[in-house]
């Protein structure tokens, strides 16, 4: 057992030895040890940093680190065996974290320690304790008797209703199938036609994302688009999968939960854990952005109507602009305005060269050096790379893995960044360094060894690397608040979205975007098209996101009463979001009714405003002025990247920018100003 790779996790985990059988063997011992140590702390701890906070962290860490690695292997080397490990131990892990998270004793210890904390204690410790106490309070630990009983009932009902809501949407989506002829799929990309093909040779259209989105853009047959649109926008609104009663139930239970915890409404409860200062501030951001987007959205709408009329003259459709025509004509208009071939563009993005360019950018901005260290760490797949991150003075400050390629059989789709270990300084002075992993799903190199990336893949790589940088360049010594730990949810995308901006910066591209065959630099005219295409219909897109965010906030506010549908209807009408009278968008709004986004959907825009404003500081200093880029880059490193979750993100922003976030940079970058 001592040699079990999940029990004795090395500085760089021994992935080849981490088999499902090894995990099976380790889990009972890890769980039993963690439980015993937590029990011991609960019965004997004193309210001091080492005896409580560090001891608790030491008690749970071996279990959570091992479980994190199991999760990683599930998403990168998936198999029946790994899934069996997850199914068996997941409930135990959930029960264990509830047991720790709902301990009255731990809450009281944290509160006592917080009240005794000396004025000169590191701010990170104050924040760790504040967030700990808040976590205990929000799990109902301070409630007694009847209130406690009711709180637990409400929590259980909410979990059940949310799961039912999600299942209804999945079922309603799956059951809808529309038989179509091959001719009706005229204009649809081959990949999507292949998805629609049935075993008997016929075709069937569905309303699942992967098929619905491209069909609405490309299917020339209006009647097919109309039927798909109607089915999709009325999902889960009748029969056994009707979500309307669930929405009422969820909203009323959330109000009750907020009241039990002493909040005015669910919006206030949600905002208490986020960096946006108040619901009023969120509504103000929504209103300000909406006001600024309206004129652009209006122009975009009339331009599209005119375009559709022209297209109809050429025999493409009848020029009508029903909701099921918008995506179709918008896609035609986008093609005609910014016609460049994705394939031609990808010839300027050869993966090894892009990676080199990304590392050089990190050097220019933050003074770090990134070098291969593949020989020093075992990996879970032969294509995985390993890198060392060095500081300006040559000291090693972090390591990370990069798993770049798609493996559809065993690897989860999409892209993500994950952390295996956080920076932490032990009481004896020993420094534990951050260890991160970036996973993407690019195509494998071709026969000639070329590995061309789509522009979207380049942006994704930069995005995930931005998350990893915030995790790795932290200077916080207390593990509980270092790296990404305690970065509020509505600020967690700032560091990642910030990095995406550099993908369209000409000075940056001039260092790595070379044609794979001719080595010619990316032509300025092509870059202009890419930039313009990014902002295509930006006003309309922004209003749509704001309509979702505002509806979400209103439904979770004290002032809400009556029918949720009426709230949606009036916001959508105000924000000019197309809908049919039978629309039941809320019935499939899983983000807020089955996910973690209740009174939090605004977070997408909130962090976008912040990251655009951060990049704005570089624009103001001058993107072609290398010394200015270096200077602002170091300031960003010393604030956003160094402080991570140890300080409120709004305060971090203030230290970087010298003021509160403003919407102007976002409007400027998206061409809305």
By annotation, the residues acting in catalysis are: 464
Q: Specify the stretch interacting with Zn ion by CB under 5 A; choose among 157-165, 444-452, 491-499, 524-532.
A: 491-499
Name residue 371's beta-bridge partners. 388
> Is the Cβ of residue 327 or residue 545 nearer to Zn ion in the bound state?
545
What Å distances lie between residue 477 and 21, 429, 529, CA to CA? Answer: 35, 10, 45
> Is the Cβ of residue 496 or residue 646 nearer to Zn ion in the bound state?
496
Name the token pair of 585. 């968008």
Q: Specify the stretch interacting with Zn ion by CB under 5 A; choose among 4-12, 181-189, 312-320, 494-502.
A: 494-502
The least CB distance from residue 401 to Zn ion, in Å, is: 17
> Is the Cβ of residue 422 or residue 496 nearer to Zn ion in the bound state?
496
CA dist 172 and 240 (Å) reads 9
Q: Specify the stretch interacting with Zn ion by CB under 5 A; choose among 67-75, 123-131, 170-178, 490-498.
A: 490-498
> Is the Cβ of residue 496 or residue 545 nearer to Zn ion in the bound state?
496
Number of residues that bind Zn ion (CB under 5 A): 1
The least CB distance from residue 473 to Zn ion, in Å, is: 17
CA dist 276 and 178 (Å) reads 44
The least CB distance from residue 460 to Zn ion, in Å, is: 9
The least CB distance from residue 417 to Zn ion, in Å, is: 7
Site string for Zn ion, 559-588 (x = CB under 5 A): ------------------------------
Nearby residues of 641 by Cβ (< 8 Å), 6 or more positions away: 366, 469, 470, 473, 474, 495
The least CB distance from residue 346 to Zn ion, in Å, is: 22
CA dist 368 and 388 (Å) reads 10
> Is the Cβ of residue 20 or residue 466 nearer to Zn ion in the bound state?
466
293 is a site residue for Zn ion (CB under 5 A)? no
The least CB distance from residue 415 to Zn ion, in Å, is: 8
611 is a site residue for Zn ion (CB under 5 A)? no
Distance of CA 468 to the CA centre of its chain: 13
Distance of CA 665 to the CA centre of its chain: 22
> Residue 105: which H helix or E strand, with range?
helix 104-116
> Which of helix, strand or coil describes residue 121?
coil
The least CB distance from residue 604 to Zn ion, in Å, is: 11
156 burial level (CB within 10 Å; 0-12, 13-18, 19+)? exposed
> Which of helix, strand or coil describes residue 521?
strand
Q: Specify the stretch interacting with Zn ion by CB under 5 A; choose among 38-46, 87-95, 488-496, 628-636.
A: 488-496
CA dist 174 and 236 (Å) reads 11
496 is a site residue for Zn ion (CB under 5 A)? yes
Parallel/antiparallel/unpaired status of strands 396-405 and 385-390:
antiparallel
CB 626 within 8 A of CB 365: no
> Is the Cβ of residue 465 or residue 585 nearer to Zn ion in the bound state?
465
The least CB distance from residue 332 to Zn ion, in Å, is: 31
Give which of 399, 528, 508, 523 is closest to 462, Cα–Cα: 508
CB 479 within 8 A of CB 485: yes
The least CB distance from residue 153 to Zn ion, in Å, is: 35
The least CB distance from residue 496 to Zn ion, in Å, is: 4
Give which of 520, 493, 494 is closest to 509, Cα–Cα: 520
CA dist 634 and 622 (Å) reads 15
> Is the Cβ of residue 233 or residue 470 nearer to Zn ion in the bound state?
470
Q: Specify the stretch interacting with Zn ion by CB under 5 A; choose among 120-128, 139-147, 179-187, 496-504.
A: 496-504
Phi, psi of 634 (to 5 degrees): -65, -35
Site string for Zn ion, 72-111 (x = CB under 5 A): ----------------------------------------
Name the token pair of 448. 């000639």
Nearby residues of 555 by Cβ (< 8 Å), 6 or more positions away: 251, 564, 567, 592
Name the token pair of 127. 């924040």
> Is the Cβ of residue 244 or residue 492 nearer to Zn ion in the bound state?
492
> Is the Cβ of residue 233 or residue 497 nearer to Zn ion in the bound state?
497
Nearby residues of 5 by Cβ (< 8 Å), 6 or more positions away: 13, 14, 17, 18, 22
Name the token pair of 362. 């990190």
Q: Specify the stretch interacting with Zn ion by CB under 5 A; choose among 68-76, 241-249, 274-282, 495-503.
A: 495-503
CB 240 within 8 A of CB 148: no
Which residue's C-beta sits nearest to Zn ion? 496
Q: Specify the stretch interacting with Zn ion by CB under 5 A; choose among 271-279, 304-312, 428-436, 489-497.
A: 489-497
Give which of 122, 222, 134 is closest to 475, Cα–Cα: 122
Give which of 27, 50, 52 is closest to 38, Cα–Cα: 52
> Is the Cβ of residue 474 or residue 496 nearer to Zn ion in the bound state?
496
CA dist 386 and 371 (Å) reads 9
Q: Which residues bind Zn ion (CB under 5 A)?
A: 496
């Amino acid at each position: 057992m001592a040699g079990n790779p999940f029990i004795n996790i090395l500085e760089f985990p021994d992935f080849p030895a981490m088999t499902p059988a090894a995990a099976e063997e380790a889990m009972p011992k890890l769980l039993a040890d963690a439980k015993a140590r937590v029990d011991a702390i609960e019965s004997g701890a004193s309210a001091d940093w080492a005896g409580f906070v560090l001891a608790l962290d030491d008690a749970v860490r071996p279990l959570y680190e091992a479980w994190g690695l199991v999760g990683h292997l599930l998403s990168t080397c998936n198999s029946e065996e790994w899934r069996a490990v997850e199914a068996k131990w997941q409930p135990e892990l959930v029960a264990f974290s509830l047991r720790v998270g709902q301990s009255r004793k731990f809450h009281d210890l944290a509160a006592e320690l917080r009240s005794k904390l000396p004025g000169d204690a590191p701010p990170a410790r104050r924040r760790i304790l504040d967030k700990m106490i808040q976590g205990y309070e929000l799990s109902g630990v301070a409630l007694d008797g009847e209130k406690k009983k009711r709180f637990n009932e409400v929590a259980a009902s909410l979990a059940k209703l949310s799961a039912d809501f999600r299942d209804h949407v999945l079922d309603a989506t799956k059951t809808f199938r529309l038989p179509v002829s091959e001719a009706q799929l005229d204009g649809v990309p081959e990949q999507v036609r292949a998805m629609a093909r049935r075993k008997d040779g016929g075709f069937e259209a569905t309303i699942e994302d992967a098929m619905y989105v491209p069909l609405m853009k490309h299917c020339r047959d209006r009647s097919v688009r109309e039927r798909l649109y109607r089915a999709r926008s009325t999902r889960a609104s009748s029969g056994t999968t009707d979500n309307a009663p669930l929405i009422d139930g969820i909203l009323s239970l959330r109000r009750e939960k907020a009241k039990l915890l002493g909040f005015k409404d669910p919006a206030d409860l949600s905002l208490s854990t986020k960096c946006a200062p108040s619901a009023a501030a969120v509504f103000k951001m929504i209103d300000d952005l909406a006001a600024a987007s309206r004129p652009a959205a209006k122009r975009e709408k009339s331009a599209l109507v005119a375009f559709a009329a022209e297209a109809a003259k050429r025999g493409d459709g009848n020029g009508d602009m029903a909701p099921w025509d918008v995506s179709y004509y918008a896609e035609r208009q986008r093609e005609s305005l910014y016609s460049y071939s994705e394939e031609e563009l990808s010839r300027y993005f050869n993966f090894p060269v892009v990676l080199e360019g990304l590392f050089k950018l990190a050097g220019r901005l933050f003074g770090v050096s990134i070098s291969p260290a593949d020989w020093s760490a075992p990996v879970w797949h032969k294509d995985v790379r390993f890198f060392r991150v060095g500081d300006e003075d040559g000291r090693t400050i972090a390591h990370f893995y990069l798993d770049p390629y798609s493996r559809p059989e065993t690897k989860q789709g999409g892209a993500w960044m994950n952390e295996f270990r956080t920076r932490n300084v032990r009481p004896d002075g020993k420094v534990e360094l951050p260890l991160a992993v970036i996973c993407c799903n690019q195509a494998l190199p071709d026969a000639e060894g070329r590995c061309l990336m789509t522009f979207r893949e380049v942006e994704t790589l930069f995005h995930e690397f931005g998350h990893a940088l915030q995790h790795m360049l932290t200077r916080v010594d207390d593990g509980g608040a270092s790296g990404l730990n305690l970065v509020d949810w509505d600020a967690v995308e700032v560091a990642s979205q910030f990095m995406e901006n550099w993908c369209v910066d000409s000075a940056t591209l001039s260092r790595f975007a070379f044609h794979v065959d001719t080595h010619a630099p990316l032509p300025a005219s092509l870059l202009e098209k890419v930039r313009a295409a990014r902002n295509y219909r930006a006003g309309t897109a922004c209003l749509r996101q704001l309509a979702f965010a505002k509806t979400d906030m209103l439904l979770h506010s004290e002032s809400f009463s009556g029918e949720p549908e009426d709230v949606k209807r009036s916001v959508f009408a105000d924000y000019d979001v197309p809908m049919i009278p039978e629309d039941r968008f809320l019935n499939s709004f899983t983000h807020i009714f089955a996910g973690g986004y209740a009174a939090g959907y605004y977070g997408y825009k909130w962090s976008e405003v912040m990251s655009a404003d951060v990049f704005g500081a570089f624009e103001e200093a001058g993107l072609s002025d290398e010394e200015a880029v270096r200077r602002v880059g170091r300031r960003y490193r010393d604030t956003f990247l160094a402080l991570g979750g140890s300080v409120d993100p709004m305060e971090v922003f203030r230290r970087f920018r010298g003021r509160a976030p403003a919407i102007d940079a976002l409007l400027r970058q998206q061409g809305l100003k």
